[in-house]
Structure 1
Amino acid sequence: MEWLTDTRTSYDTVAEDYAAFVRDAFAEQPYLLAALELFAAQTDDGPVADIGCGPGQVTAHLNGLGVTAYGIDLSPGMIKIARRDHPTLRFEVGSMTDPLPAASLTGIVAWQSIIHLPDDLVPAVFANFRQALRPGGLLQLLFHVGDETRLKTEGYGGHPMKLQVHRRPRERMTNWLRDAGFTIEAELLLDPQTQTPQAILTARSRQ
């Protein structure tokens, strides 16, 4: 799939600069910190997958909260940095379009990773997430809110990129999740007065 190759190549290209950009981002994001703390408090013992983990800052933060989390990312460049910066944690190269072992996880975090996934593949990916979670497992998504797609051609240090960035209505996301077998437990809209709002959705796999 061309979009998959473009996304992998783009993030390999910007990996070092992206890692520097997000390294201290949590210090300025109290709502994101609170969302992860709430996720950690509601997640049962067992492995949690951070899908689209990038350089591993969310994976590391979850482990600091007592969660047994590991990271998966499409970009080998990102995984190399994650392993370098967090050598005691587990990181793997992989795609969210590839199914994970059934009922193997108590939780999944996918922060700003589904934003590059084409619409026609989102339902199947959410079904993969549902299949990978144990009954009652928790899923937390962070994504761009809106109703448009744009081509990103440059970023993070001015490096060339070629990837689609999808902004989606919350209603579309919640409908996809319900259809995949999730119950929506919480929604949080961030920066609603700006041109670049984000949302956090927390959903639980139905028993």
Structure 2
Amino acid sequence: MNTDGWLADTRSSYDTVAGDYADRIRGALAEKPYLRAALTLFADLVQAAGGGPVADVGCGPGQVTAHLHDLGVDAFGIDLSPVMIEVARRDHPHLRFEVGSMTDLALTDASVAGLLAFWSLIHIPDDAVPTVFRHFRRVLRPGGPLLLGFHVGDESKLKTQGYGGHPMNVYVHRRRPDTVAAWLRDAGFTVEAQMLLDPDDSVPGAVLFARRPY
């Protein structure tokens, strides 16, 4: 698979679909009790570790960032797409959002109490994931929790049409939880729990909890 320019393709694709994507997923968490439970547990883990700022990396239009805020978490969002960040700021003007890439995370070392990447790793090629996880570990405080959500599977598919019928040019990578867990251990994380969602669907989901050791 040719990954030349994949970062620019991902940015421009989500710039194109940002408004329609936000409209489609607005309120979606209300129909996802297991995801809400995972977010509640993540918020509890952040507070138990002492609290502090939490980065929602690949935040999209900010609905999960806002949900964490409602749970009492000092959450802020980062996304590759400038237009997506504009939408997040419009929809959630009381929260902080900034443009950035998880492949070169512009946060200082040990600066966040928790980090979330909810279905934002799905466009990261396998060979770039270790770099991303090293950044995640670097910016997390010792003892800080990490929550990942992703599509489960064994293949990568090119997505050429997206939300609202707009053109896109992004690969969607599906991965096995054990594979992601192994990458996390290689990056220095302790893996604490994983859960398979909708196992009977054609494309299940997974959430995985990990922690930067003390």
Q: Give the percent of matched residue pairs that are identical in Structure 1 and Structure 2.
A: 65
The residue identity in structure 1 corresponding to 2:86 is: K
The corresponding residue for 1:183 is 190
- Give the drift of 1:117: 0.3
Aligned partner of 2:37 in structure 1 is 34
**Structure 1 residue 111, shift from structure 2 partner:** 0.4
Give distance in 2, aligned partners of 1:24 and 1:102. Answer: 34
* Pairs within 5 Å for 1:16-55: 16-43=19-46, 44-55=50-61
CA displacement, residues 140-161 of structure 1 (integer Å, 9 cap, x when unaligned): 0000111100000001111100
1:102 is paired with a residue of what secondary structure?
A: coil
State the Cα distance separating 1:116 from its structure 2 match: 0.2
Match of 1:40, SS? helix
* 2:82 matches 1:76: yes
Q: Does residue 94 of structure 2 align to residue 91 of structure 1?
A: no
- Residue aligning to 1:111: 118
CA distance in structure 2 between the aligned counterparts of 1:70 and 1:57, rounded to whole angstroms:
11
Aligned length: 207
Q: Can you give the 5+ residue segments of structure 2 that lack an aligned partner in the other structure? A: none
Runs of 4 or more off by more than 6 Å in structure 1? none
Paired residue type of 1:57: Q
Q: TM-score, normalised by structure 1?
A: 0.98
Following TM superposition, by how much is the alpha carbon of 1:4 offset from its aligned partner in structure 2, in angstroms?
Answer: 0.5
| Mapped partners of 2:176, 2:194: distance in 1 | 12
1:40: Cα distance to partner? 0.3
Q: Distance in 2 between matches of 1:2 and 1:70?
A: 27
Aligned: 1:12 with 2:15: yes
Task: Give a deviation string over 1:93-112, Cα, whole Å, max 9, x none.
Answer: 00001132100011000001
Matched residue type, 2:19:
E
SS at 2:202 equivalent: coil
RMSD of Structure 2 on Structure 1 (CA) = 0.7
1:78-126 CA-to-partner distances (Å, cap 9, x unmatched) read 0000000110100000000113210001100000100000100101110
Give, in whole Å, the separation in 2 of the partners of 1:121 and 1:206: 23
How far apart, CA to CA, are the structure 2 residues paired with 1:90 and 1:106?
Answer: 16
2:131 pairs with one of 106, 124, 132: 124
Match of 1:142 among 135, 139, 149: 149
TM-score for the superposition, normalised by structure 2: 0.95
* Aligned-partner residue type, residue 16 of structure 1: G
Kindly state the Cα deviation for residue 45 of structure 1 after the two structures are TM-superposed: 1.3
For the residue of structure 2 that corresponds to 1:184, the secondary structure is: strand
SS in structure 2 at match of 1:121: helix
Query: Unaligned stretches of 5+ in structure 1?
Result: none
Corresponding residue for residue 168 of structure 2:
161
Larger % of strand: which?
A: 1
Q: Distance in 1 between matches of 2:201 and 2:74?
A: 35
CA separation in 2, counterparts of 1:192 and 1:79? 32
